[in-house]
Amino acid sequence: MSRKLAAEFFGTFWLVFGGCGSAVLAAAFPQLGIGFIGVAFAFGLTVLTMAFAVGGISGGHFNPAVSLGLAIANRFEWRELIPYWIVQVIGGFAAAAVLYVIASGAPNFEAHGFASNGYGDLSPGHYSLLSCLVAEIVLTAAFLIIILGSTSKAAPAGFAPIAIGLGLTLIHLISIPVTNTSVNPARSTAVVLFAQTNAAGQLWLFWVAPLVGAAVGAFIWKLLLSPGESPGFIGQER
């Protein structure tokens, strides 16, 4: 169990450090040309690389919503859920702290939103609470379906991290203008203490919506899409 938790810590650390780091350190300077497309790919690449690196140890969740969805889909032990959540949040916070130390070394540094998520005035496009809630639920549900489908026995073996990483990239391309993209409570919690906004007051949405979305996605997969329950499929899911 300790190896699993260590893998989740480092995986979540890398997701927050790489994804949020690209937003705080690179996207903040237009002359570097990374933009929100670069940030979207950075988040996808963090999951892709760590899924290959440590996914065989812990399953490569790096996200409390993913852990919940996998438990609902009977792919993960419920007794391990809370320990995973704890190390995911700690790993994300450790990454945000390191990122803050690096970023604050720049002249005239101001944290501002520090890659945090938000709705209303804290949404990049000033989207409403309802818009952000729906976006986070739908996109997290889709993310769980991608994860469950790409890791099922019906999918080509060995390609799941690529599908999952590209799926997360697409999710960011859709929703950075809406919520700055969460679909991951650990990622949202990690940076909120360093933001110089009211992001902490809106953090509840970025726990509730991803967890609800993960449950929805898991139930859709389990009840409607699971190859193990589809006519003509021989065998069970991995």
Q: Which of 11, 12, 60, 16 is nearest to 163 (CA)?
A: 60
pLDDT of residue 27: 66
Which residues, 6 or more positions from 86, have their beta carbon under 8 angstroms from its beta carbon?
Answer: none
Looking at domain 2-104+111-227, what is its CATH homologous superfamily?
Glycerol uptake facilitator protein. (1.20.1080.10)
d(CA 46, CA 195) in angstroms, rounded, equals 22
> What is the phi/psi pair of residue 213, to 5°?
-60, -40
pLDDT tens for each residue of the chain, 238 residues long: 899 999 999 999 999 999 999 999 886 666 666 888 999 999 999 999 999 999 999 999 999 999 999 999 999 999 999 999 999 999 999 999 999 999 999 888 888 999 999 999 999 999 999 999 999 999 999 999 999 999 988 888 889 999 999 999 999 999 999 999 999 999 999 999 999 999 999 999 999 999 999 999 999 999 888 866 444 443 444 4
**How do the domains of the chain map onto residue ranges?**
2-104+111-227
Which residues, 6 or more positions from 175, have their beta carbon under 8 angstroms from its beta carbon?
Answer: 135, 136, 139, 181, 183
pLDDT of residue 168: 98
Token pair 């690096």: residue? 102
